[in-house]
Structure formats: C-alpha cells, structure tokens
Amino acid sequence: MNSELLIILNLCLTFVVFGVSGSCDLGTYGRNCEKNCSQYCASDIDEYVHCDQWTGRCSEGCVPGWYGGTCNIPCSSHCNNRTCSQQTGSCTLGCTENHTGDDCETENEIEKRTELAATTRAIIAVIAIAILAAIAIIVAVIYRRRKRSFAHHGTRS
C-alpha cells in the first residue's frame, strides 16, 4: 500500500472511532458531545465549566465539597468545612468532632466508650431505683400485715 492510502485509511478510522466533530461546546463531552460536564466541575475565569471532551474529567478541578476526576464524589460530611483533597478525598482541614482518619469516617473510640459508660451508669441507676422501690413496697406490705396481725391478736385477748 502506498502512504497516501494509509493516511486516508487512518483518517477514516479516526472519524469512525472519534466522530466527525473536532471539539465539543463548553460544558459538554462525549463521542457526539451529548453529555454534560459535572455540575461540580469548577468554572474557569470565563465562568464556564470545562471538561475533557472524551472523558468528562474536570479541567479546572472541583468546586469545594467534591472530588474525583469528574467531581462526582462528595467529600465526607465529617470533613471540616466539607473540604477535601480533589484527588484522594482525604480531609485537608481535619475532621469534625468525634471523627478521625484521612477521610474522617472513623468515630473516635474514646467518645464512644464515654457515651457507653454514661449509658451504662444510667441503666444501673434505673435498676437500683427499681430495686429500692420494690424493697420499699415489700417492707410496707410486711409492716401492714404485722400491724393488722397485732391489731387482730390484740382484740382477741
């Protein structure tokens, strides 16, 4: 085959695989530019959202609170100010109270134990009060029976 025929064949193959259009309008991507860039892609100075015309990957990064190539993954709700790395999702400003880890999804074990201890103390207090109330009722019943018994025996004599 001659080189001109190879070039024409290559161009035809390129049009079949990638479509006839050379580029998409701003804010769109895909083979026929039929898909919209993520609403969470950051806009450029011109306030238009830019993304790769083939993959939809956001060109200017993500708006705060989102990460991933196409900015479709929310940062953890336990990230301070819901701010995270746009590549990894790790919380860049630390975690909210009671959470730890890169993505702040691990609850603080000390806080969990403190809450459990408080709950346990409350349950023990309720049980103790119930037992004391039961003992008081039993003592009152025994006292009344003895009082009746004495009154009943005292009137017989």
How far is CA 40 from its chain centroid?
Answer: 17
CB 48 within 8 A of CB 27: yes
Which string of DSSP letters, residue by residue, matches 23-76?
A: -PPTTEESTTS-EEPPTTBPB-TTS-B-B-TTT--BTT-B-TTEESTTS-EEPP
Give the predicted TM-score (pTM) of the model: 0.54
Instruction: Among 9-23, 43-57, 82-96, 120-134, name the most confident range.
Output: 82-96
Please compute the mean of the pLDDT values over residues 93-107 and round it to a whole number.
88
- Name the residue ranges covered by the structural domains of the chain: 108-157
